[in-house]
Structure 1
Amino acid sequence: MNGYKLDPRLENDSTSVMITGLCDLRLSRDARWPWLILVPRRAEITEIFELTPLDQVLLAFETELVAKALKEITGAAKINIGALGNIVRQLHVHVIARFEGDANWPGPVWGFGQADPYEDGKRDEFIAKLREALSS
């Protein structure tokens, strides 16, 4: 799609859940937190303001839908949303469910401890719940 290519680090650290109107919605492979990543399928974009005005609206809309679905299926105390991109420059938005008492609560998730991979069955079950929540 217009020269879009997923950054290899995002590809290695996450699994595609579904393609939305604008984004590749991905699940982080770190099971310590329900952690989703929206990657706009646009080439050479590193900042939200580089998107067209319509794509900016789509990104905000899709982020809201994903955050709401994540809160619904996890019952999280807080949903963290951020677009940092200091290491992976390709524009991507993190949507992370946080719980009191989770790994490093209330501190940030970035750079904390070692990633804990999903068991295949638990990952697949979570993805199925997420797809269902997003389709309703």
Structure 2
Amino acid sequence: MFQLHPRLAADTLPLGRLDLCEARLMNDCRFPWVILVPRREGITELHQLGKADQAQLLAESARVAAQLQSLGVEKINLGALGNLVPQLHWHLVGRRRDDPCWPGPAWGCGKSRPWNDADARTLLLRLRRGLGLGEERP
């Protein structure tokens, strides 16, 4: 049975469930940053997913990237590091030239700043609507 890694659960806010992935908002207001976690037990690498799931992950990544782009970001950084959290998960990070880490990577740059409740609710609602997930928490 699929279980979200505890570190991912602690570092993110629930966005919703796509067909394959659990979508989570990184709790760092410096960036609009979504993490996709395929709901498949024991998967640590992309090649371990079946071909259909690989295609679905790419499709869901494109949907999320389009929503991040609608927020006015200039670039979407995509990464799957997995060094601290072995469970397969993809980061989609919206970047702007004026963000505190530009042009370097968001990972390991400075100290994260948690979202305040109102801003988190506003962004989650906008992303949920754009992704067709409705307005309620998953």
User: TM-score, with normalisation over the residues of structure 2?
Assistant: 0.93
1:61 maps to which residue? Answer: 59
Deviation at 1:57, TM superposition (A): 0.7
2:136 maps to which residue? Answer: none
Root-mean-square deviation (Å): 1.1
How many residue pairs match? The answer is: 133
Q: CA–CA distance in 1 between the matches of 2:101 and 2:19?
A: 33
1:107 counterpart (104, 108, 113): 104
Q: CA–CA distance in 2 between the matches of 1:39 and 1:134?
A: 16
Deviation at 1:112, TM superposition (A): 1.2
Structure 1: tracts of 5 or more residues without a match:
none
1:81 maps to which residue? Answer: 78
1:11-50 Cα shifts (integer Å, max 9, x gaps):
0000111001000000000111110000000001000110
Secondary structure in 2 aligned to 1:76?
Answer: coil
**Percentage of pairs with the same residue:** 44
2:12 maps to which residue? Answer: 14
Deviation at 1:135, TM superposition (A): 1.9
1:24 counterpart (22, 25, 42): 22
User: TM-score, with normalisation over the residues of structure 1?
Assistant: 0.95
Deviation at 1:131, TM superposition (A): 1.0
Deviation at 1:115, TM superposition (A): 1.0
Q: CA–CA distance in 1 between the matches of 2:17 and 2:131?
A: 12
Deviation at 1:69, TM superposition (A): 1.0
Secondary structure in 1 aligned to 2:119?
Answer: helix
Q: What letter matches 2:108 in structure 1?
A: G
Q: What letter matches 1:56 in structure 2?
A: Q
Structure 2: tracts of 5 or more residues without a match:
134-138
Secondary structure in 1 aligned to 2:103?
Answer: coil
Q: What letter matches 1:86 in structure 2?
A: N
